[in-house]
Structure 1
Amino acid sequence: MQDYTLKKGLGQHFLTDEKILDQIMQALGQTSFENLLEVGPGGGALTRHLLQLTGVDFKAVELDEEKVDYLHKTYPALEGKVIHKSVLEMQPPFEKEFTLIGNFPYNISSQILFKVLDWKALVPSVFGMFQKEVAQRIASKEGSRDYGILSVLIQANYDVTYLFDVPPEAFNPPPKVMSGVIRLTRRETPEAVSSDKQFKLLVKTAFNQRRKMLRNAVKGLFDPEFLKEDIFSKRAEQLSVADFAGLSYKLK
């Protein structure tokens, strides 16, 4: 009998399938790390496994006060390890590099990835559960309909591996969509960009009008003469991550 309520407004769908939990732990076991942050531990299904890892400094961040109380009561080993706030508003929980893991609340999963990009110097790897279409978007390559802002910004810094699907019945309550687990591994050589801010501006502007020819979508960002280059005859989804990175140096 669970001693907590599920809050729809916080996007809470808690993983209950032990086979899926084992698959996540097996994937995690292929990466070495000393520090680990779990985002949104909720009822602690995954947390219970993570606490058994040896030689790892573990912390969890949970916004919902009721879940924080439940976790402390159910898992005494979590004493001093739960950060009660939103991951989107917190500072890095470790001074050294840390791996990030979580069944991310679907309503803020994209924002969590932008947070990862803010922390990229400290986060060499991420294991995340997302709504399947979001996971596919992150992993998709140029030319794909799913390829977009998240794909480019993440792949400029991380290699993305789609690990496996997770069906709705693996959760309580079951979401109305399939889910997917992906792994991000920080690239040894990230794409060189003029600045993260400029790169993000370019990518967002290009994809905000993705059906338009690039020349029309980003015309305010480049000198008119440069816009005559052939690359601007393409649409945003036809450009590779490296193409966008190169163009960031040509911005006005």
Structure 2
Amino acid sequence: MDGLSTPKQKLSALIITYNEMGYIEKCINSIAFADEIIVVDSFSTDGTYEYLQKHPKVKVIQNPFENFTAQKSFTLKQATNDWVLFVDADEVVSDKLQREITETINDSNACEAYWFYRKFMFQDTPLNFSGWQTDKNHRLFRKSKARFTDRKIVHETLDVDGTSCILKEKLTHYCYKDYQDYKGKMLRYGQLKAKEAFYREKQFNYVFMILKPFWKFFNHFVIRLGFLDGKKGLTISYLNALGVLERYRELKKLEKKNELTYYLVMP
């Protein structure tokens, strides 16, 4: 009917956390424009959970961490609104991106899901190359039109029933706090990727264990121009390669454990 405006679309902002103090504060402030903020914490020990409990705009729930896909699927179920914005605890939504998100979800011609390009930060300075310049992720979507596929447990993938578009403004990702933090993150990713490969019945291979980390480093530092980021690019490329090496180390352990179990249960 004439004279009636379309109701404003409500937005749920969702985050999963584990020991994110030093990151989570900026993240929460940047998504305060959302109608609700829901955080699922996997039993942090650094004060993250206590901080979130005291935050007036945040609903925090604790849930054991199995893998990234399972945790994000659980978190998605907690949202009360159809439009959801998923961010990592080390990401920040700029003022311009906030406005673009709000305008997008209130557009009658909106797509069902949106990709975000990301601007990577090494501590407080940008990483312009090192393989991340084309990185993009589904972060804004209709809950009723999307779900996380169970085919991946690390770099979770969204299955969308409809059209995906790309937002213009970038999401700021503070990927590197310090050396030990990023190293730990890459090792954990490598271990989870090994489990993913093991479940898919992929076999450990010594040749791949040698070649794949080397290729990862060469791809990020040389082909993807990491050398133009200087020492930052060298550090990131090396630690990304270390994560790949850890994947094969862990896969070998899983296969040995499986073989041992098999022989122990044989009659």
Structure with the higher fraction of residues in strand conformation: 2
Do the structures match in fold with TM over 0.5? no
Report the TM-score, using the length of structure 1 for normalisation: 0.32
Report the TM-score, using the length of structure 2 for normalisation: 0.30
